Structure formats: C-alpha cells, structure tokens
C-alpha cells in the first residue's frame, strides 16, 4: 500500500484493538466444539475462502476433533454499488460435495453478497449438510437483497458494529493480515502521506 511506507504510519492504521488474541482463541475453541457436536464421525469438509479466512481456518481446523478434510476456494466478486454482486470462482474445490457435510469457514460477513452467491453455488452440488461459520458478522452492513433472502451464518463467533476491521487474516489493501488480534482500522492514514 503506497501510503503505508513507514512503521509509524503502519502502526497509526491500528486505531484500537477490538478483539484481543486470547478472546479469539477462546471463541475458536468453542466454535470447534460446536462443529464437533454437529457431526458424529461423518466426513466433514471445511471450506474456506481465501485470502481473508486463512488464519481462522488454520486455528479452527485444529480446534475440531471430528475427522475432517480442508479445502480452499478463491473467488472474485464484482459488487457494483447497486448489484447484488456477481461472483466468479477463480479456484474451486476438487471434492465431490455430494459425499460431504460441508462447513464454510469465513472471515467476515459484511454485505453478505459474496457468501450468498458462493453458498448458492455450493448448495447446488448437494452436500449432505451445509453450514456457515463466520468469525465476524457485521449485520448492519447487510445488502437488502441478502437480508430479504434471510441469508445468515449458522454460527458467528463475534458480531461487530460497522467498523472496518483488520488483523487475524483480515486486510486493508493486503496489509495487517498478520496481526494476531482484530483491530479497528484508522482510515485517516490513507489520506495523509506524512501519517
């Protein structure tokens, strides 16, 4: 990112910690147990959408005890200001979903447009069961079309207000994914070169 060209500016982008590392770890353990409770040794496929969910996936797959496979998808979403978002799959999963219980592992549901489309595509492949686990949910930002369809996560670890957040896999222009906690982003760093 062009504006972030020094450690000082980078750190200024981290406005305040919203969810500390320990609180995430605790919630991840709880979510892992919840997933265990859904299945009884049946084949589970955890699917996460890159890049944002990579850290969450790494932690939650180790918090799950039932036998499971992991898979990743890469999607490109064209979300025009008024459209409901057109999603193109860049990297698909290779498994035959009709043989699996599918659990989507997502970083954040914001407008919900991306996941709404991805869910539609994956459900059409007729998995035994289909569940969505999201680290964060920002319900205030939901696209009206997505809301009207009553589309939501089956399990959200945290519900947050309408802040742009970074860390634990979430980025702002590819930066900040490596922070161990979730923080609110200070957008003012994008405005000044000086910081």
Stretch near ligand IMP under the rule CB under 6 A, chosen from 11-19, 65-73, 89-97, 112-120:
112-120
Could you tell me the smallest distance in angstroms from the CB atom of residue 9 to ligand IMP? Answer: 18
Stretch near ligand IMP under the rule CB under 6 A, chosen from 13-21, 34-42, 103-111, 118-126:
103-111
The burial class, CB within 10 Å (0-12 / 13-18 / 19+), for 94 is exposed
Mark whether 110 is an active-site residue. yes
User: Is residue 164 near ligand IMP by the rule CB under 6 A?
Assistant: yes
Nearest to 99 by CA among 67, 72, 126: 126
Catalytic residue among 59, 107, 110, 171: 110
Contact residues toward ligand IMP (CB under 6 A) are: 52, 77, 107-115, 164-165, 170-171
For the annotated catalytic residues, the residue numbers are 110
């Amino acid at each position: 990112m062009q504006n972030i060209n020094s450690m000082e500016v980078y750190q200024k982008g981290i406005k305040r910690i919203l969810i500390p590392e320990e609180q995430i770890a605790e919630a991840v353990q709880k979510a892992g147990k919840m997933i265990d409770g859904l299945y009884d040794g049946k084949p589970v496929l955890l699917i996460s959408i890159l890049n944002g969910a990579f850290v969450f996936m790494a932690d939650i797959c180790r918090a799950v005890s039932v036998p499971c496979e992991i898979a990743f998808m890469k999607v490109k979403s064209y979300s025009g200001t008024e459209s409901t978002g057109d999603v193109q799959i860049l990297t698909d999963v290779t498994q035959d979903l009709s043989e699996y219980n599918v659990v989507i592992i997502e970083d954040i549901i914001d407008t919900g447009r991306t996941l709404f489309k991805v869910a539609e595509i994956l459900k059409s492949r007729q998995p035994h069961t289909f569940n969505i686990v999201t680290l964060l949910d920002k319900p205030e930002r939901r696209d009206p079309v997505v809301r009207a369809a009553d589309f939501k996560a089956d399990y959200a670890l945290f519900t947050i207000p309408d802040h742009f957040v970074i860390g634990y896999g979430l980025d702002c222009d590819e930066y900040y994914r490596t922070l161990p906690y979730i923080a609110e982003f200070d957008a003012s760093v994008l405005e000044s070169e000086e910081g």
